[in-house]
Chain A
């Protein structure tokens, strides 16, 4: 059996996807990047293969993507996250429909990608200058509110008051705003809802720069947060598709590309 590996080395997490010759997702793994992400990436890959019962010789092509891709020398090829994300999204949402707009909120950046009917990237916008409105921000918020990141969604839907807007555009200053709100006895639910809307507003602004076209796909770790998804849908005025494993879309795309690359190479 031949397998294809896509490895997305992000600043916060390493995501690895393994696909088979039919481009189906066979398995995936997410682990922390840490400071020695190159070593951890190798280790994670080895672990994943072992779990899936795949021998490393069965892996015929590996593509690396993400922030640390160029340093993963074992890869056969490396591509930008934009391309990988686009491919991964289309593949993951095959049953849903043709994806033309992708929203990605990562650990430390966020992007919006616009595709044409064939799935080629025609436009993209990125916010990689600061962590406001990214996964990092949500981590900080959850920590300040003394709840788990995975609980954010529940709190969002329990909010009955008006969401409390966070006016700071910087994650660091927003932290003090949140502490202030807590100090004035505002409910955690309203604060969480306010944070989600604050992120949603920012990301919608970014997406509108590339143009919103059906169907809209949302991935990245924060897409697991259903409350955030709802906030984005409300700000956008549009339904969005969230895959089953939103963190791995990009790595999955890399794996799919690995498959295509290998097959076309062997054909020629």
Chain B
């Protein structure tokens, strides 16, 4: 007896696998926690639309792929294109990339490379800009190019304190702007860049408003929901994102007034730092919040770091605006690719203080050398400050769940004990 069904193509199979990963996480967000937020519906639907039904969002617009957060989105918006951050969180794509990269590579880079290798995008980037940040990202550019994609390297300095590095980055950004301008056949003008800077600045201000509510004793929004909101900014239409977040802010204001708490009274407040949790790899944040703790702040490039620092322009002319934009992406950046990491340590401490954090969870991807290497200095600094910290490594595979849960739960219980002892 022959089987008469049509068999999926490999692209369809990949899409189905990714859809299954995505829907499992979305269902978890929607169903596993108390006091759901109505306005989050926009984001759940958005992710389902894009990752389960693979609907394109940006037809008719030039899509500019970016690797890492350092590519200035203001310039992309000014040139009437859409920036799409390509850092990938899918285990499906990680497995594909795993055949193309060394075994011990960072899962995020593997997933991104795997995605490009499969060339299966709902919104395919027309051109991709890759800043030379960490080693693996840096080398991934050429590998991706070999699959037939257009990738432009953008030189990014590994030091940020010196005058040369600041000038180098400014020149890099100017060169990027020129190349993109040529690609688009459009010019950067005072008015289009000013509008773009203000729009992105406004979007950032909305993030600040959102995150302000997490300083309350009764936290009205989960950390995983915040991650979803900021992840959406990677690829959503900015005007729709802005309007959805405005609604979210109003709803949170109401919830804050009503004292709604998505966590328990004794739930330890966690500051999350390290390798970015990118949808659907929310494994660790979900474990944390399912273990009766609440993530009140984070220091990761898929969330806080994208929105924290503002572009400040002194003279609203093209030369000053471009320099302001470059400076923002370099000077305040707390990515571990830099030689010194004092700024990151100070940022984590400041977050713990201003969000009344009880402890820090530092998650590094197995294979992410820079985050793994910073472990020592960060742990030492937290010890000096008397802030409890848990360091864990993970990757994208679904298998470690039990081990990770045990470690996280133990840490959270120790935080609860500390709190009780203090009283």
- Complex contact flag A–B (Cβ < 8 Å): yes
Contact B2–A237 (Cβ < 8 Å): no
Total B residues in contact with A, Cβ cutoff 8 Å: 21
| B24 on interface, CB distance cutoff 8 Å | yes
Given contacts A241-B1, A244-B1, contact A162 B19 (CB under 8 A): yes
Given contacts A163-B16, A234-B8, contact A239 B3 (CB under 8 A): yes
B13 within 8 A of A: yes
Partner of A240, one of B3, B20, B22: B3
Contact residues, A207-251 vs B (CB, 8 A): 226, 229-230, 233-235, 237-244
In the bound complex, CA of A239 to CA of B2 (Å): 9
A234-B16 in contact (CB<8A): yes
CB distance from A244 to the nearest CB of B (A): 5
**Interface residue A158 (Cβ < 8 Å from any Cβ of B):** no
- Find the B residue at minimum CB distance from A167: B398
- Give CA–CA (A240, B24) in the complex, Å: 29
Q: How would you classify the secondary structure of chain A's contact residues: helix, strand, loop or mixed? A: loop
Are A237 and B10 within 8 A (Cβ)?
yes
Contact between chains at A237 and B20 (CB < 8 Å): no
Known: A184-B31, A244-B1. A237 touches B7 (CB 8 A): yes
How near does chain A come to B143, taking the closest CB pair, in angstroms?
24
**Interface SS, B side:** helix
Bound-complex Cα distance A233 to B8 (A): 8
A162 to chain B: which residues have CB within 8 Å?
16, 19-20, 22-23, 52
Contact B398 A184 (CB under 8 A): no
- A241 touching B3 by the CB < 8 A rule? yes
Chain B 392-404, CB-CB to A under 8 Å as 1, else 0, gives: 0000001001000
Once the chains bind, are A234 and B7 in contact (CB under 8 Å)? yes
In the assembly, what is the distance between CA of A229 and CA of B23, in Å? 23
Inter-chain contacts of A161 with B (CB < 8 A):
23
Which B-chain residue is minimally distant from A234 (CB atoms)?
B8
Q: How far is the CA of A187 from the CA of B10 in the complex (A)?
A: 26
Taking the closest CB of chain A, its distance from the CB of B98, in whole angstroms, is: 14
| A164: Cβ under 8 A from any B Cβ | yes
- Nearest B-chain residue to A245, judged by Cβ: B1
Q: Given A162-B52, A244-B1, is A167 in contact with B24 using a C-beta cutoff of 8 Å?
A: yes
Is A83 part of the contact surface with B, judged by Cβ < 8 Å? no
| Contact between A184 and B27, CB atoms less than 8 A apart | yes
A237 touches B3 (CB 8 A): no
| Binary A-proximity of B6-33 (CB < 8 A = 1, otherwise 0) | 0110101100100111111001000100
CA distance A226 to B4 in the complex (A): 10
Report yes or no: A164 in contact with B27, Cβ–Cβ below 8 A.
yes
Cβ-defined contact, B10 with A241, below 8 A: no
Q: How far is the CA of A241 from the CA of B2 in the complex (A)?
A: 5
Is there an interface contact between B2 and A164, defined as CB atoms closer than 8 Å? no
Q: How far is the CA of A184 from the CA of B8 in the complex (A)?
A: 29
Q: How far is the CA of A241 from the CA of B5 in the complex (A)?
A: 12
A175 shortest CB reach to chain B, Å: 17
A241 nearest CB across to chain B (Å): 7
* Given contacts A163-B16, A234-B13, A234-B16, A239 and B27 within 8 Å (CB-CB): no
Residue of A nearest to B23 (CB): A162
| Residue of B10, B12, B16, B52 with most partner-chain A CB within 10 A | B16
| Interface residues in A, total, Cβ within 8 A | 26
Contact B7 A233 (CB under 8 A): yes
Interface status of A194 (Cβ within 8 A of chain B)? yes
A78 and B358 CA atoms in complex are apart in Å by 67
Closest to A243 in B: B1
A250 to chain B, nearest CB (A): 17
Residue of B nearest to A157 (CB): B5
- Does A67 belong to the interface (CB within 8 Å)? no
A186 within 8 A of B: yes
Instruction: Report which residue of A162, A197, A234, A242 has the largest number of chain B beta carbons within 10 angstroms of its beta carbon.
Output: A162
B20, A194: Cβ atoms under 8 Å? Answer: yes
Chain B residues lying within 8 Å of A234, measured Cβ to Cβ, are 7-8, 12-13, 16
- Near B by CB (< 8 A), chain A positions 164-191 give 164-165, 167, 181, 184, 186
Interface string of A69-104 (1 = CB under 8 A from B): 000000000000000000000000000100000000
Would B23 and A164 count as touching, CB distance under 8 A? yes
Q: Which residues of A contact B31 (CB under 8 A)?
A: 184
* Distance between Cα atoms of A238 and B3 in the complex (Å): 11
What's the nearest-Cβ distance from chain A to residue B270, in Å?
24
Q: Give A189-211 as 1s and 0s: 1 = Cβ < 8 Å from B's Cβ atoms.
A: 00000100100000000000000
Knowing A163-B20, A165-B21, A243-B1 are in contact, say whether A238-B7 is a contact too (CB < 8 A): yes
Q: Are A229 and B3 closer than 8 Å at their CB atoms?
A: yes
Q: Is the CB of B7 within 8 A of A242?
A: no
Bound together, the chains give a CA A19 to CA B2 distance in angstroms of 23
Which of B3, B10, B52 lies in contact with A242, CB distance below 8 A? B3
A186 and B28 alpha carbons, distance in the complex (Å): 12
B3 near A233 with CB under 8 A, answer: yes
Closest residue of chain A to B399, judged by CB?
A169
Chain B residue contacts of A194, Cβ below 8 A: 20
Cα A184 to Cα B358 with chains together (Å): 33
Q: A163-B16, A237-B13, A240-B3 are in contact. List 9 more A-B contacts (CB 8 A).
A: A164-B23, A165-B20, A167-B24, A233-B3, A234-B16, A237-B8, A239-B3, A241-B3, A243-B1
| B residues at A contact (CB < 8 Å) | 1-3, 5, 7-8, 10, 12-13, 16, 19-24, 27, 31, 52, 398, 401
- In the assembled complex, 11 residue pairs joining A and B whose CB atoms fall closer than 8 Å, in A order, are A162-B22, A162-B23, A165-B23, A167-B401, A226-B5, A229-B5, A230-B5, A234-B12, A239-B3, A242-B3, A244-B1
Using a CB–CB distance below 8 Å, which chain A residues touch chain B? 96, 161-165, 167, 181, 184, 186, 194, 197, 226, 229-230, 233-235, 237-244
5 pairs of A and B residues whose beta carbons are closest in the complex? A234-B8, A162-B23, A162-B19, A165-B20, A184-B31
